[in-house]
Amino acid sequence: MAANNPYQAYQQGAVQTASPGELTLMLYNGCLKFIKLARTGIQEKNIELKNTNLLKAQNIIQELMITLDTNVQVAKSMMAMYDYINQCLIEANTKNDTASLDEAEQYVTEFRDTWKQVVQLHRQQVHGSGGQA
């Protein structure tokens, strides 16, 4: 299957070799991709495109919620934010509300950008500073 599609094979390899931090980053990026596709669905009045992609975005947010260690204080705050993002996605889906979609996208983008910095810092610590001062 994947051997017939080089892009799928590449994606599968990227997921299989990614660190947990990189996987989380991939989830955030996927969520943003699905939000953008859902926005296109709303703008084009394509209910199937909107609904399919908002459900995918919700599934990602729910997966992120499941993986949180709620024994850590910051995770409790993140759980509340993920729940709010999920509610925004539901609102966007049921009411074709682009303002809710914008809000969800903004928060996911902030989480993604912060997480990207964490992954980069971790790489620098593991692999050395790479000549940076």
Task: Please report, for the chain, the start and end positions of each structural domain, with discontinuous segments joined by +.
Answer: 20-125
The whole-chain average pLDDT of the chain stands at 88
What is the SS3 assignment for 53? helix
Residue 99 above 90 pLDDT? yes
State the helix-helix crossing angle for 6-17 and 20-43, rounded to 10 degrees. Answer: 130
Measured CA to CA, the distance from residue 121 to residue 100 in angstroms comes to 32
pLDDT in tens, 2-35: 457 765 664 565 556 678 889 999 999 999 999 9
Domain 20-125, CATH among 1.20.120.340, 3.40.50.2300, 3.40.50.10440, 3.40.50.300: 1.20.120.340
